């Protein structure tokens, strides 16, 4: 197409070949192939003299329009790429950040070489405004109503124990049976007891406040309803939380060593489940996933690196309906 347009606008195939820095024979061959493909002559030829046919003039107008649109699109992308530059401070939970976010960010940085990212991974609940982050990937409910929240996908969770533990302690068949088991829980950020302090009652009480808080990686509460107990009854269960930690990798290591039952992100233990090193438990007695959100302080400028990150995160981690953008 570009060769044909150049031939028309330079006046000859030889001139087009010089303008495009191509061999004249190659230009002639491409014009001939184009006419064969279209099944219509584009030029009337008499010796070295040639002029456009009616079909050639119509095709030239269409080609010129298409090429101009292509050039405009490429120029627009080039200009946008030049505008998207700057530093992004991003926060995420450890397990999600290590296993999913960090590997995916390699592609984001490759597509936007002028953008720099500071990625902080820990399991604290942070506020973009107070803690100085441009974007926060958050697992669990978002309670603040003064932030922009983009609902992304969901992160599956699963209750697990090792075969060695189950052989020693037996396999729980319903939520009530957890009262007889040793459980490992997630320690909510900011709730660590000091030397000599007792564990707060609201952390020891309830199946939700023990195992369920681990599943969210941010200390969020939840209830594991079972087929035998109502949600209200299940929430009154108080299994023995023999150990709490603020890190899912530590819980995984403890579970693999037979220390007890815990709830972990499915992505973290998928290989352990497949190999048989861990066993899934009570799959009908707990939420199957935690919501994932991207939280920002305010609407981003369309040309800002934050807006580019939001659009990328929606494509990378989002549900189909999340592509419409942030909601208040």
Same domain, 64 and 97: no
Q: What is the CATH number of the domain that holds 194?
A: 3.40.190.290
Residues 11 and 110 in one domain: no
99 and 70 assigned to the same domain: no
Strand partners, 121: 92
Q: Are residues 186 and 66 in the same domain?
A: no
Domain that holds residue 282: 86-328
pTM: 0.58
Same domain, 190 and 293: yes
- Please name which of 48, 64, 68, 69 lies closest in space to residue 4, comparing C-alpha atoms: 64
Confidence of residue 56 (pLDDT cuts 50, 70, 90): confident
Using alpha carbons, select from 68, 292, 257, 298 the residue that is nearest to residue 160.
257
For residue range 153-165, list pLDDT tens digits in order: 888 889 999 999 9
pLDDT tens profile 60-104: 888 877 877 776 666 555 555 456 788 999 999 998 999 899 999
Of the three residues 57, 83, 109, the one that is the final residue of a domain is 83
Higher pLDDT, 238 or 319: 238
Q: Which of 43, 65, 83 is the last residue of a domain?
A: 83
Q: Are residues 69 and 110 in the same domain?
A: no
Q: How far apart are the first and last CA of the chain?
A: 48
The arithmetic mean of pLDDT across residues 252-278, rounded, is: 94
Mean pLDDT of 33-60: 83
Instruction: Assess whether 128 and 70 both reside in one domain.
Output: no
Crossing angle of the two packed helices 24-38 and 13-20, in degrees rounded to 10: 110
Same domain, 137 and 171: yes
Count how many domains the chain has.
2
- Specify whether 193 is located in the same domain as 252: yes
- pLDDT score for 209: 39
Alpha helix segments (H runs only) across the chain: 2-10, 13-20, 24-38, 54-83, 94-96, 102-111, 128-131, 163-169, 201-204, 207, 213-215, 231-235, 248-256, 266-275, 305-317
pLDDT higher than threshold 80 for residue 152 = yes
Give the Cβ contact number of residue 304 at 10 Å: 18
Sign of the C-alpha dihedral computed for residues 242, 268, 253 and 123 taken in this order: negative
Q: The CATH number of the domain where 56 resides is what?
A: 1.10.10.10
Tell me, yes or no, whether 224 and 288 share the same domain: yes
Cα separation, 116 vs 20, whole angstroms: 38
Residue range 275-308, pLDDT digits in tens: 999 999 988 776 677 889 999 887 656 668 899 9
User: Which of 237 and 322 is assigned the larger pLDDT?
Assistant: 237
144 and 25 co-located in one domain: no
What's the whole-number mean pLDDT along residues 104-116? 91
Q: Of 53, 83, 113, at which residue does a domain stop?
A: 83
Please check whether residues 220 and 313 belong to one and the same domain.
Answer: yes
CA 143 from centre of chain: 21
pLDDT in tens, 176-204: 898 999 999 987 655 555 444 444 443 33
């Amino acid at each position: 197409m570009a060769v044909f347009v150049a031939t028309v606008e330079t006046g000859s195939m030889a001139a087009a070949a010089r303008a495009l820095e191509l061999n004249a024979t190659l230009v002639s061959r491409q014009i001939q192939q184009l006419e064969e493909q279209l099944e219509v002559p584009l030029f009337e030829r008499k010796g070295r003299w040639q002029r456009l046919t009616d079909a050639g003039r119509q095709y030239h107008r269409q080609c010129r329009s298409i090429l101009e649109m292509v050039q405009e699109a490429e120029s627009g992308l080039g200009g946008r790429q030049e505008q998207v530059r700057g530093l992004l401070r991003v926060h995420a939970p450890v397990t999600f950040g290590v296993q999913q976010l960090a590997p995916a960010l390699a592609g984001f940085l490759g597509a936007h070489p002028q953008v720099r990212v500071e990625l902080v991974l820990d399991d604290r609940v942070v506020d973009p405004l107070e803690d100085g982050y441009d974007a926060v990937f958050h697992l669990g409910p978002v309670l603040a109503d003064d932030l922009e929240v983009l609902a992304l996908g969901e992160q599956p969770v699963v209750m697990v124990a090792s075969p060695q533990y189950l052989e020693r302690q037996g396999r729980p068949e319903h939520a009530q049976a957890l009262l007889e088991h040793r459980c490992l829980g997630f320690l909510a950020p900011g709730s660590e007891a000091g030397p000599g302090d007792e564990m707060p009652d609201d952390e020891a009480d309830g199946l939700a406040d023990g195992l369920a808080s681990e599943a969210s990686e941010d200390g969020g509460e939840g209830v594991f309803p079972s087929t035998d107990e109502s949600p209200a009854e299940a929430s009154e269960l108080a299994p023995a939380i023999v150990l709490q930690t603020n890190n899912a990798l530590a819980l995984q290591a403890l579970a693999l060593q037979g220390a007890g039952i815990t709830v972990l992100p499915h992505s973290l233990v998928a290989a352990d489940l497949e190999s048989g090193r861990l066993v899934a438990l009570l799959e009908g007695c707990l939420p199957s996933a935690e919501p994932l959100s991207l939280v920002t302080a305010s609407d981003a400028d369309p040309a800002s690196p934050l807006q580019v990150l939001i659009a990328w995160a929606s494509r990378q981690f989002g549900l189909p309906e999340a592509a419409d953008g942030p909601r208040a």
